[in-house]
């Protein structure tokens, strides 16, 4: 991959604020570790005349759902997250781990599986890279409205066996985010984006 052209530099510095899709030439790529949920990959690539080697989490990607009821409350779930040793508040969410499944279908599936809800109205509100220096994971957040109960209640296992659900006014969720009482990045991004778009 060559260095940035003068036109690319000008567009990044002076143009509309936006990321620039500019994939480097990958010379070599090896799966270093195959995990249960995600893998570790090592790539060697060309960037501006140099060869660089980086390890990163090779992730399937994920979706999350900001479910909003008629009273402008958002549905939060609480579950244990071992890496941070915390029962944190989150949105219904899950991996894009079914081959060929579109993000919207995955979001609909996760809302049903984790909250026993279906929605009549869906829209994508945000797509972001969780940690672009160390992972290729991207998450798409959907807003779901016109909610109703699923015909059946899903059986939950492992961390999901102790899920707690709570409906919270959006303003309360924003206040908790700004006060630092909730830390889940997906939840923070979703509620702050929803608040900003009001």
pLDDT per residue over 43-82, tens digit each? 999 988 889 999 999 999 999 999 999 999 999 999 988 8
Q: How far is CA 123 from the centre of its chain?
A: 15
* 54-58, 100-104, 154-158, 169-173: range with lowest mean pLDDT: 154-158
- Nearest in space to 40 (alpha carbons), one of 25, 56, 29: 56
Higher-scoring residue by pLDDT: 76, 23 = 76
Supply the pLDDT for residue 1. Answer: 47
Supply the pLDDT for residue 80. Answer: 87
Higher-scoring residue by pLDDT: 27, 158 = 27
pLDDT tier at 168, thresholds 50, 70, 90: very high
Query: What domains can be seen in the chain, in order of their start residue?
Result: 6-58 (no CATH), 62-196 (3.90.79.10)
What is the average pLDDT value for the chain, to the nearest integer?
91
d(CA 75, CA 152): 19
d(CA 158, CA 94): 14
**Which two structure tokens, joined as six digits, stand for 53?**
């080697």
Catalytic site positions: 160
- The structure tokens 């567009």 sit at 11
H runs (alpha helix) in the chain? 6-14, 103-115, 170-178, 185-196
Q: What is the pTM of this model?
A: 0.88
For the stretch 94-139, pLDDT in tens is 999 899 999 999 999 999 999 999 999 999 999 999 999 999 999 9
């Amino acid at each position: 991959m060559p260095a940035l052209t003068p036109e690319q530099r000008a567009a990044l510095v002076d143009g509309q604020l936006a990321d620039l899709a500019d994939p480097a030439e990958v010379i070599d790529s090896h799966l270093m570790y195959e995990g249960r949920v995600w893998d570790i990959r090592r790539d060697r690539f060309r960037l501006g005349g140099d060869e660089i080697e980086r390890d990163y989490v090779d992730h399937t990607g994920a979706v999350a759902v900001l479910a909003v009821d008629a009273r402008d409350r958002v549905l939060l779930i609480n579950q244990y997250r071992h890496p941070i040793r915390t029962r944190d508040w989150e949105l219904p969410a899950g991996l894009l781990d079914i081959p060929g499944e579109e993000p919207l279908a995955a979001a609909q599936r996760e809302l049903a599986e984790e909250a026993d809800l279906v929605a009549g109205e869906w829209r994508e509100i945000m797509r972001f890279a969780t940690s672009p220096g160390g992972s290729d994971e991207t998450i798409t957040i959907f807003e779901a409205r016109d909610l109703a109960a699923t015909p059946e209640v899903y059986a939950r296992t492992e961390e999901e066996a102790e899920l707690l659900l709570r409906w919270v006014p959006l303003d309360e969720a924003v206040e908790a985010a700004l006060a630092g009482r909730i830390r889940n990045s997906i939840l923070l991004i979703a509620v702050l984006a929803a608040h900003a778009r009001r």
